[in-house]
Chain A
Amino acid sequence: MTSAEAGFKSRAASALADERLKLAIERTAGTAERKRAAAVDEFPEFAEARARGRRIKDHVIAHLAHYLRLFEENAKASGAKVHWARTSEEACKIVVDLCRQAGAKHVTRAKSMLGEEIGLPHALLDAGIERVETDLAEHIVQLADETPSHIVWPAMHKTREEVVELFQDKHKQAPKGGEVEDLVASARRDLREKFMSADVGISGANFLIADTGAVCTVTNEGNAELTTTPPRMHIVTAGIEKLVPSMEHAFVLLRLLVRSATGGDFTQYTTFHCGPKRQRDADGPEEFHIVLVDNGRTKMLQEGLQAMLRCIRCGACMNHCVVYRQIGGHAYGATYPGPMGSVLTPALDGLAKSRDLPHACTLNGKCAEVCPVEIPLPTLLRGWRDRSWREGLEAGTTRGGMKIWAFVASRPALYHLGNRLAVFGLRLLGRRGWIKRLPFVGAWTDHRDFPAPRRQTFMQAYKKRRSGR
């Protein structure tokens, strides 16, 4: 067993034992699941929109170099500075250098999963730059010194009661009461002056619009615009797969994104940012920088993971995942949890470190069913399992077991004999059709009974029926 595997298994085991965590996850993911279903029901054109969304992303990925050049050209024409980063280290260095150039002491940041992926919070900390997370959930996660556990609701793992305690401890002025309203008001109070006094605002991008060079951000809180407008400098960090040809294409995807993420129809604040403040503009940043980040994406193109580059980060796959709903996001031990994370993490961090993630899946297909851009997540997860086997990353016991099974299964007489013996043995252990304890599979029987087999093996019953005819 590798240490990463041990890490995942022990994290999953403690998450499973945490009843409070399950309560917290159910409160948010359960609501999200119901609201998404209702929103899709109210949108009979969803299936066609979804097919279009997929085709748009496929088209962009197939012509990625063209769209990157077009976007760069138009962004530059709008006055933006475009930077390129191959790796997370390069991306962080560019952002930190820009912050230093701006003489930044503190920066505000609007939630961006790419920022988490490249480790920007740590890079800013190491550079001695104070970082203020402005999305409410990211604010909670920052105060608690944790990492996000969901890509849309980073603080999904926290109950209201825990947030009350946290805010009482960390806010200048404690929340007035224990209701969610009191907590939201308290965060609003605490963050308002920080928005206005930040030196640099950092955001991600939901879409990069190739034909104008604009960057689209969506929030429901309004924290993106409050992050990007007051400071002198706005820095965008974006994955190179975020491109779309035009605003119309973005709208097709936005209709899918919002319904799939929160069950809303449209985000409260959808903003297209195009270049720095114009000469006569009343407000806005003097400098506008866009950092385009590869960090494994071109490798995904080369390795047959194009379909994963369609992902628009809605989080529906995790909201509907039976495994995620039981263990939450932190157990995955990666930036991106759930089904999409289990496909992305091996690509970003290497399969050797994360081979257990594609295994933490029942292949029930629910994620692919709800994915707004039709990513075949179970197929991609099976692809990682296959590769893990071929690269010899599977545990010795698994490999040995499979060898024994293959030996027996390719010898029908031996196989049938084995089956008969197993049925006989299991029936000896059974009481009233159930087995309470089984050697070697304690992990199963510790928590649930195992069904005792019928009197005959399948082949015995089959032969009997045939001869009886």
Chain B
Amino acid sequence: MSNARSAIFQAIERAHGTEETSADQIAEDARNLITDPATARPAITADDPIDAFIERATGPKVGASVDRIDDLNALPAKIAKWLDESGRPLQVALQPTADLTGLDWTGAGITLTNDVDDKVAVGLARFCIAETGSLVFHSAADMPILLNFLPAVHIVAIRASTILSHLEDYADAARAAGNPTPRNACLITGASGTTDIEGRLVKGAHGPGELKIVVVDDR
């Protein structure tokens, strides 16, 4: 359809005339549109980024639960306790990342499974954003994207050191982290929900119905 391509560019040229601004100038104009971002985004009130993130993530708009631990090694026991208390089998599907697979799950009485569908999955977020309470995952060999979408309960460990203040800080971090850009960068903000029937919010539409966050204070 190269005909279509050139026809579209010709039509744009008919409307605009030939582009006279240089690519560098356009890039500079684009950057100028987003300088001083603080004037156009919500302020963060808490001094500590962890507090800011937790306040947001547990607030009514995100509705996640947050637990805190001091060391990632304490994660299996924390999850085992919760599974037990909520009457679920001590079984989880794990994100295949060394940081998680290297933990002592059997010691905590948890069996690992590949069955994610409508079950409990445990992941480790790459970044977190305090402004929105979002968790960020980048697709990779050790980050299957479906692990974030198929379970009924999504448990996500985050390192306090990866909490960023605003969405723009994530854009910077993503640029610094990634060449090439990951195939998928997923910003997950709360459990799956829908308001498609009569505007009423119901959790667990297609993705997880429950999001539990465990903050690891690694600072």
Contacts and interface: CB of A to CB of B under 8 A. Distances in A.
A249 B34 contact: yes
Given A248-B168, A249-B33, A264-B61, A281 B139 contact: yes
Nearest to A189: B118
Interface stretch (A131-139, A380-388, A409-417, A418-426): A131-139
B19 interface: yes
A294 B196 contact: no
Interface in A184-228: 184-185, 187-188, 191-192, 195, 212-214, 220-223, 225-226
Interface string A54-90: 0110010011111010000000001000011110001
Interface in B10-40: 11-16, 19, 21, 23, 26-27, 29-30, 33-34, 37, 39-40
Nearest to A245: B30
A65 B16 contact: yes
A78 B4 contact: no
Interface in A12-35: 24, 27-32
B41 A49 contact: yes
A62 B16 contact: yes
Contact of A45 (B16, B41, B206): B41
Nearest to B9: A65
A27 to B, nearest CB: 4
A441 interface: no
Contact of A153 (B140, B193, B196): B196
Interface string A269-302: 1111111111011111000000010100011011
A158 B197 contact: yes
B7 interface: yes
A206 B77 CA distance: 41
A184 B204 contact: yes
B8 A86 contact: yes
B40 A48 contact: yes
B93 to A, nearest CB: 12
B96 A48 contact: no
B148 A184 contact: no
Contact of B199 (A31, A45, A56): A31
A275 B23 CA distance: 24
A385 B182 CA distance: 48
B184 interface: yes
Contacts of B199: 27-32, 153
B189 A266 contact: yes
Interface in B108-161: 117-118, 132-134, 139-146, 148-150
Contacts of A4: none
Interface in B189-218: 189-200, 202, 204-208
Interface string B32-76: 011001011111000000000000000001000000000000000
Contacts of B183: 273-278, 281, 284
B146 A229 contact: yes
B19 A49 contact: no
Given A158-B197, A229-B149, A273-B183, A68 B9 contact: yes
A65 B19 contact: yes
Given A63-B19, A277-B183, A246 B30 contact: yes
B11 A302 contact: yes
Contacts of B140: 280-282
B180 interface: yes
A457 B2 CA distance: 67
Given A55-B33, A248-B168, A280-B141, A269 B186 contact: yes
A221 B207 contact: yes
Contacts of A220: 192-195, 205
Contacts of A272: 181, 184-185
Contact of A136 (B141, B144, B145, B194): B194
A268 interface: yes
Contacts of B182: 274
B144 A160 contact: no
A268 B190 contact: yes
B213 to A, nearest CB: 14
Nearest to B1: A84
Contacts of A27: 198-199
B146 A230 contact: yes
B206 A84 contact: no
A180 B192 contact: no
Interface string A116-134: 0000000000000000001
Contacts of B90: none
A344 interface: no
Contacts of B19: 63, 65-66
A361 interface: no
B103 to A, nearest CB: 19
A374 interface: no
A280 B138 CA distance: 13
Contacts of A278: 139, 180, 183
A298 B195 contact: no
B195 to A, nearest CB: 6
Contact of B195 (A24, A153, A249): A153
Given A226-B207, A277-B183, 11 more contacts: A28-B198, A29-B199, A65-B12, A155-B196, A160-B197, A184-B204, A220-B193, A265-B42, A269-B189, A284-B184, A301-B15
The 7 closest A-B pairs by CB, nearest first: A222-B207, A298-B11, A282-B144, A28-B199, A221-B205, A301-B15, A31-B199
15 contacts: A27-B199, A43-B42, A49-B40, A62-B16, A63-B26, A213-B181, A221-B206, A246-B171, A248-B37, A268-B191, A269-B188, A271-B184, A282-B144, A283-B139, A298-B8
